[in-house]
Amino acid sequence: MKKDDRNSSEGNNSDNNDNGNNDVSNNIGKFFIWIAWILAIGVLVFIFQETLERQWNPNKNPDVYLSNTGRAEVHLQQNRQGHYVVQGSINDQKAIFLLDTGATQVSIPAHIAEQLNLQSNGSYRVQTANGSVKVYQTSLNQLSIGNIFLYNIDAHINPAMQSDEILLGMSALRKLEFQQTGKQLILREQ
C-alpha cells in the first residue's frame, strides 16, 4: 500500500468515526425531543383535566351563605350539560351528588354504598328511566352539601347504577327550599 493510500484510508476511518459520533448524537437528540413532547403532553393533560373536571362539576366547593333569616344557603352553578353536580358528604365521607327532582329517593350506586359502609334493610322494585330494577332500602344518618346538613334521609342502594354520582332525589330535596335563576340554583334550609 502506498503512503497516500494509507492516509486516505485513515481519513476514511476518521470520517466513519465522525459519522458514528453523529449517529449517536442524533439518536440522543431524538430521544430528548421525544421526552420533551411526552412531558409537554403530560402537562397539557394535567392542566386540561382540571378544566374538564370544573366544567363537569363546577360546585366542587359550593358557595355557602346565610340568608337574611339566618338559614344556611348553597348556591350551585349548572355544568355544561345543564345539570347540577355538587360535592358533599354522606355520614362525613365525601360524595358527589347529581340533583334529580324526578327521583323519589336518594339513589346510591351499589359500589359507592359499599365504600360508604351502608347497610340495606330489605328490597323492593322501582321504575327507572332504564326500566324496573330491584333496589335495597337504606337510611343516611347525615347528608351535607356546603353548610346545609340533613339527617335521617331515606335512600336506596341501586345495583344497576354504574355511575360515580349519587342521585339526590326528593327524599332529601323536599327538606330544602330551592330556587333556580338562570344557570344558578339556590338551596336553602327550611
- CATH number of the domain that 183 lies in? 2.40.70.10
Residue 53 confidence class, pLDDT cut points 50, 70, 90: low
Average pLDDT over every residue of 160-184: 95
CA distance linking residue 6 with residue 151, whole number of Å: 96
CA distance linking residue 152 with residue 166, whole number of Å: 16
Please answer whether residues 108 and 91 qualify as being in contact, where contact means their C-beta atoms are separated by less than 8 angstroms: no
- Domain final position from 56, 75, 95: 56
| Rg of the chain, C-alpha, whole Å | 30
Both 52 and 75 in one domain: the answer is: no
- Print the domain residue range for 182: 63-189
Average pLDDT over every residue of 111-132: 93
Total tally of structural domains belonging to the chain? 2
CA distance linking residue 115 with residue 90, whole number of Å: 11
Q: Where are the alpha helices (DSSP H) in the chain?
A: 3-56, 110-115, 170-173
65-83 pLDDT tens trace: 998 999 999 999 999 899 9
Both 73 and 151 in one domain: the answer is: yes
Both 109 and 134 in one domain: the answer is: yes
Both 37 and 87 in one domain: the answer is: no
**Which pLDDT score, from 0 to 100, does residue 42 have?**
83
Please answer whether residues 171 and 153 qualify as being in contact, where contact means their C-beta atoms are separated by less than 8 angstroms: yes
CA distance linking residue 123 with residue 156, whole number of Å: 9
Both 88 and 23 in one domain: the answer is: no
Cβ atoms < 10 Å from Cβ of 161: 21
Both 152 and 89 in one domain: the answer is: yes
Both 20 and 95 in one domain: the answer is: no
